[in-house]
Structure 1
């Protein structure tokens, strides 16, 4: 493989890391609070607002139901309005973030709902407010599940970032399509696949390690 192709692979990898990192952060900032609200706003729960819960739930489900490649094309006007263009790395962050928000919200909701209801009742009995219960009980107890959920979201975003290469995005997906597929260079396609696999494995391993470290339900192995 030529030095020029190696340089292109490095640039494409950095572009993919940029897209995934920014969209993951934005998705988490918006998706985590949304997930907490969905998990605590049914009738009789801490932030009881059943009507709002149902409406937000429908919006989340509708967004998650749209295949990502169709979502990218459908929101091109919105992407152009926010990013000033519909192609390139920065533009790709818009659909990636929109896809990440409902995905992370549902993962967060599931993690919070797994917290023992007895802990919530005990906190209520001691006079804690709903927001104190969320901040001091629900989130800390669900942290392991939250981290695993965020890990899954980042892994999914890595896959999505490769898809945007088909519709004008940059990164590894774009490089694989332009050189590996259109120019019949299988060594480039192989290199792209290997880099994506390594990225996924690193993210998965780091996420699982962090989840074990903060898991309050499992004893830590103090020998390591």
Structure 2
């Protein structure tokens, strides 16, 4: 590799990592991860409204439930997913999903529920049925119980917050990889169009989302 090629590669990597840094920050704000603790704490005064008598049906392990229920620093709703709670506060789906260290894609694959729109629904426009809420609670609680069991019942608030951030970071990294692919695709498309235009080979565009043909207009090449 020549010096010029090395310099170009270094500059490309520098730009890539700069974009990655700002992308991570924007996504962290978009996902509202840092607001989860405040939302959960706001529910603590009404925690008694959520009955846990049916916890055995919600995917919670016995040892994990006993540990959290008797822990002086934890409340059940801080750790385990209550089916009625996520129906009433759908944005907290992301909180429990991240504590369970599950991606949105994993949730859709395992229980067939696409939580992407629901997690960002601050106005509860997308209703969550009882069956779906139960399936999601069971999935999250099973994984959360496994995490507690693997900690040998020594989970701390700091570790819980660490899992939340680590899971969010993994999701952002996945989004970044998808974004890179989309940007690269656009660059390749532009190069192909430019080359075809220069050789007078371009006659029309056929959008991927439909079969309609759009006649080529050289004045709109940059679009």
TM over 0.5: no
Larger Cα-atom Rg = 2
Task: Give the TM-score taking structure 1 as reference length.
Answer: 0.32
Q: If each structure's helix is expressed as a fraction of its own residues, which one has the higher value?
A: 1
Which structure would you say has the larger RCO, counting Cα contacts within 8 Å and 6 or more residues apart? 1
